[in-house]
Amino acid sequence: MIRFENVGLRYGMGPEVLRDITFHLPERSFQFLSGPSGTGKTTLLRLLFMSLKPTRGLITMFGKDRARITRQELPLLRRRIGVVFQDFRLLDHLTTYENVALPLRVRGRDEASYRADVTELLKWVGLGDRMHVLPPVLSGGEKQRAAIARALIEQPRILLADEPTGNVDPLLARRLLRLLIELNRMGTAVVIATHDIGLMEQVDARRMVLSGGRLEIYD
């Protein structure tokens, strides 16, 4: 589904942040992306999300060469990728329901056509009773679940989560992890960027470890 071959990235004239990164993310796979802070986890996620272009190497996204993807094609391809940001990035002036429905709304879909789906998804992530509340009123865990729901509403083929348990207590972290595992069982590939070893030990999954700009994979 997604393939990296000898990918390198540098910001401007600086040193290479990522070096010779090679891996393959198959359909329905589940993996952790870990490594110490500042080793380039978020940068690698941005490459996966196509908000950065590599300075060298080859990236194939859903069978297409990243270098040949035009600016117009990007939004359409991005809809196959769900992203959960470390800082949630919910819009404070929209309710939880409106935030989750945003990806469908920006596609120009009529609200009646997705109302039931959004409501069902919000109930699935445990926010059924917080649907019409503005994000500043939500707790950290609720925001995280709202962000996950927004990433899933378009039924993406892969979900990228950047430190999804970074702002929540261990109990909630386990609940969120179970949610992501359940999602994976339903067919979505999942990449979780984290440096929480406790979280990784709960699941027997592939680990991609970044260190000094290089990637090592433990299957």
Verify binding: residue 67, another protein, rule CB under 8 A: no
Q: How far is the CB of 91 from another protein (least distance, A)?
A: 6
Q: Residue 102 to residues 41, 108, 141, 191: CA-CA distances in angstroms?
A: 26, 10, 20, 22
Q: 3-state class of 205 per DSSP?
A: coil
Choices 18-26, 27-35, 60-68, 101-109; region in contact with another protein by CB under 8 A: 101-109
Contact call for residues 148 and 83 (beta carbons, < 8 A): no
Q: What is the largest CA-CA distance in the chain?
A: 50
Name the residue with tokens 């030990």. Answer: 201
Verify binding: residue 83, another protein, rule CB under 8 A: yes
Tell me the β-bridge partners of 218.
207
Contact call for residues 95 and 101 (beta carbons, < 8 A): no
Of residues 70, 71, 116, 171, which one binds another protein by CB under 8 A? 71
Verify binding: residue 66, another protein, rule CB under 8 A: no
Spatial distance between the Cα atoms of 3 and 57, rounded to a whole number of angstroms: 11
What is the token pair recorded at 195?
């440096």
End-to-end CA distance of the chain: 18
Q: How far is the CB of 206 from another protein (least distance, A)?
A: 25
Residue numbers 171-210 binding another protein by CB under 8 A: none
**Cβ closer to another protein: 79 or 174?**
79
Binding residues for another protein, rule CB under 8 A, total 37
Number of alpha carbons in the 13 Å side-chain half-sphere of residue 95: 12
Q: 3-state class of 33 per DSSP?
A: strand
Verify binding: residue 74, another protein, rule CB under 8 A: yes
Mask: binding to another protein, 117-146, rule CB under 8 A, as x and -? ---------------xxx-xx---------
Verify binding: residue 103, another protein, rule CB under 8 A: yes
Q: Which amino acid is at 180?
A: L
Of residues 40, 150, 157, 199, which one binds another protein by CB under 8 A? 150
Residues that bind another protein (CB under 8 A): 49, 51-53, 71-72, 74-76, 78-79, 83, 85, 89-95, 98, 101-103, 105-108, 111, 115, 132-134, 136-137, 150, 154
